[in-house]
A and B are shown apart, each in its own frame.
Chain A
């Protein structure tokens, strides 16, 4: 049973009681980081108050409680994304970016060589670009990009040609700038047809839609907890256990070994092989609580709610600011998530964001770590509005009022 009421989600989120510059906060930056509900904050406090100890190995009571929380989060994530091999396929990292570095430095280093191709898209976040350039500079393979069409979708018209020589297709589930939701199932079929594997950057999509890696038939997935109502400092890497089994360790140290002697070491089996050092334990407890909370709301309900908010905002932006504000993203609500990038004619995004802050409205200016995409559309920056499960139509009301004021000031 799931129930969804955004006003109640709002009531569960302590930060949304803030007053900024005399206005109740209007938080429209969930694409950068989401605001955790009380349940997540309390799970972390409770951990530090009562259950804190280092995980694994120790036999005393609190250590096994901490281990239970940590491993419980692994299992919760496995269920949340429907990992076919269960918790054994979930690796905890620092964030989504580290997950991509793990993919590149472990699987990539072992499987890519000169003559191979890694195919990305022009709408990728730097997290899914830079690790590949770094590895390319070491191994000499090619990094290629799927272009983006003028209506902000992946241009798949030439995909069979682009797939030539590709060992890995690595694309975002949802653009953090455009809001475009990519056809991952279709792309995985294309990748597999060409004998390639497919990785998905789910940083944006995982908190705003149902994620089922089995149904999507993908091979790798990376995302972070803090964009799904969880804490910062913990990210997730998933791959099928047949692939994970053969991946060499990435970071070395305590916790990731089976044995160490003066002659060398043997890595541990399973996900801990990739979790060197004391992991983010309290954060895992928080992540576990976030998954429980999101599951209770129902991911399909959240997706529908954000879809409605986005459609309403796009219509009103066009109605009230036609000719002055350009939306950098699809106007069509099919396969489109709750991220709206805008370009205000004559007002730089930084100035837009600064003026909106005067009304307590939080939006993000900048290139959003997607410089190739910015270049594609001839932009240096946009101001980005992004919704979360706690967003309400009244957030859009406040945004539009503040935008009128900002434009009025710049003339």
Chain B
């Protein structure tokens, strides 16, 4: 049985209570994308400022549960200042962490190992996988960031 302590880890509660990179950025130059979770009403807006292939700044506003809010805060801290390549890599690794079990079930194989150390603080969210209905809360910010990146002027 998955315990609540797997879900509500100290780091998660800390990021929920004191979210990092909260706020807005002027658009343009920043790009702003809104994400919704239509099932539960959670809403998030991600602002990114990308210059010379580097995600110089990120700000986030929105409302949601502790998992969606802490995930967005942890995400902002993990990607800020990183090259777009590194950002994409982090998004990929995080999504793999969230969906690994499901993919393995479909393929009938073992979940692919995610390098937890490479995730740093983000690893705190791995307990979410034990609560499948909450995965959508954790990935909302990440999907919104992906969307924002795809909307960058080329």
| A interface residues (Cβ-Cβ under 8 A, vs B) | 21, 348-351, 354-355, 358, 365-367, 371, 374, 380-381, 409-410
Contact between chains at A354 and B42 (CB < 8 Å): no
- Which of A21, A381, A409 lies in contact with B8, CB distance below 8 A? A409
Cβ of B64 < 8 Å from any Cβ of A? yes
**Given known A-B contacts A367-B40, A367-B41, A349 and B65 have beta carbons under 8 A apart:** yes
Chain B, 114-135, contact with A by CB distance < 8 Å: what is the 0/1 string? Answer: 0000000000000000010010
B41 in contact with A21 (CB, 8 Å): no
User: For residue A349, which residues in chain B have a CB less than 8 angstroms away from its CB?
Assistant: 65
Assess whether A351 is in contact with B41, with CB atoms less than 8 Å apart.
no
Q: A348-B66, A350-B137 are in contact. Are A355 and B4 (CB under 8 A)?
A: yes
- Check A374 against B4 for contact (C-beta < 8 Å): no
Query: Given A350-B65, A350-B67, A350-B137, A380–B43 Cβ distance below 8 Å?
Result: yes
User: How far does the Cβ of B84 sit from chain A's closest Cβ, in whole Å?
Assistant: 32
- A146 to B152: give the CA distance in the assembly, Å: 43
Residues of chain B at the chain A interface (Cβ within 8 Å): 1, 4, 7-8, 13, 39-43, 63-67, 69, 131, 134, 137
Q: A350-B65, A354-B4 are in contact. Are A381 and B40 (CB under 8 A)?
A: yes
Min CB–CB distance A119 → chain B (angstroms): 26
> How near does chain A come to B48, taking the closest CB pair, in angstroms?
24
Chain B residue contacts of A366, Cβ below 8 A:
39-41
Most buried by A among B4, B8, B137: B4
**The 7 A-B residue pairs with the shortest CB-CB distance in the complex, in nearest-first order:** A350-B65, A348-B65, A380-B41, A367-B41, A381-B41, A366-B40, A351-B66
Do the beta carbons of A21 and B1 come within 8 Å of each other? Answer: yes
- A363 CB → nearest B CB, Å: 14
From A21, A349, A350, A371, name the one whose CB has the most chain B CB atoms within 10 angstroms: A350
Q: In the complex, what distance in Å separates the CA atom of A21 from the CA atom of B3?
A: 9
A211 CB, nearest partner CB in chain B, Å: 31
What would 7 more interface pairs be, CB under 8 Å, given A350-B64, A365-B40, A409-B4? Answer: A21-B1, A350-B40, A351-B8, A366-B40, A367-B40, A380-B41, A409-B8
Question: Within the assembled complex, what's the spacing in Å between the Cα atoms of A365 and B64?
Answer: 12
Contact check, A351 vs B65: say whether CB atoms are below 8 A apart: yes
Inter-chain CA distance A366–B64, complex, in Å, is 10
Complex formed: what's the CA distance from A354 to B134 in Å?
9
Given the known A-B contacts A366-B40, A367-B40, A381-B40, are A348 and B64 also in contact in the complex, defined by CB atoms under 8 Å?
Answer: yes
Q: Chain A: which residue is nearest B4 at the CB level? A: A358
Contacts of B67 in A (CB 8 A): 350-351
A351 CA / B1 CA spacing, docked (Å): 18
Q: Give the nearest-CB partner of A379 in chain B.
A: B41
User: Which residues of chain A are within 8 angstroms of B134 by Cβ–Cβ distance?
Assistant: 350, 354
Q: Which of B8, B43, B65, B67 has the most CB of A within 10 A?
A: B65
Enumerate chain A residues within 8 angstroms of B63, measured Cβ to Cβ: 380
Q: Which B residues are CB-close (under 8 A) to A381?
A: 40-41
A200 to B4, CA, bound (A): 42
Q: 7 interchain pairs (CB within 8 A)?
A: A348-B64, A349-B65, A350-B40, A354-B131, A380-B43, A409-B4, A409-B8
Report how far A21 CA is from B4 CA in the complex, Å.
11
Q: For A409, give the chain B residue with the smallest CB separation.
A: B8
Give A381's nearest chain B residue, CB to CB. B41
**Which residues of the partner chain B approach A358 to less than 8 Å between Cβ atoms?**
4
Q: How far is the CA of A83 from the CA of B95 in the complex (A)?
A: 54
Residue of B nearest to A368 (CB): B41
In the bound assembly, the distance between CA atoms of A367 and B13 in angstroms comes to 24
Are B42 and A380 touching (Cβ within 8 A)?
yes
A409 to B66, CA, bound (A): 12
Let me know if B7 and A354 touch, CB within 8 A.
Answer: yes
**Minimum C-beta distance from B67 to chain A (A):** 7
Cα A365 to Cα B43 in complex, Å, equals 15
Complex Cα gap A21–B1 (Å): 8
B contact residues around A350 at 8 Å (CB): 40, 64-67, 134, 137
Residue of B nearest to A355 (CB): B4
Docked pose: A349 CA to B40 CA in angstroms? 10
The residues of B that contact A374 with a CB separation of less than 8 Å are: 41
Report chain A residues within 8 Å CB of B64.
348, 350, 380
Closest-by-CB residue of A relative to B5 is A409
CB distance from A376 to the nearest CB of B (A): 14
| Contact B66 A371, beta carbon cutoff 8 Å | no
Q: How far is the CA of A371 from the CA of B39 in the complex (A)?
A: 11
Query: Closest residue of chain B to A350, judged by CB?
Result: B65
- Complex contacts, B4 vs chain A, CB 8 Å: 354-355, 358, 409
CB neighbours (8 Å) of B8 from chain A are: 351, 409
Task: State in angstroms the CA–CA spacing of A380 and B40 once bound together.
Answer: 8
Rounded to whole Å, the gap between the CB of B127 and the closest CB of chain A is: 12
Bound-state Cα–Cα, A47 to B153, Å: 62
Chain A residue at minimal CB-CB distance from B63: A380
- Set of chain B residues within 8 Å of A351, measured between Cβ atoms: 8, 65-67
Residues of chain B with a CB closer than 8 A to A409's CB: 4, 8
User: Given the complex, which residues of A lie within 8 Å of B1, measured CB to CB?
Assistant: 21
On chain A, the residues within 8 Å of B13 by CB distance are 410
Q: Once the chains are docked, how many angstroms separate the CA of A394 from the CA of B83?
A: 56
Measured in the bound complex, the distance between the Cα atoms of B8 and A358 in whole Å is 12
From residue B66, how far is it (CB to closest CB) to chain A in Å?
5
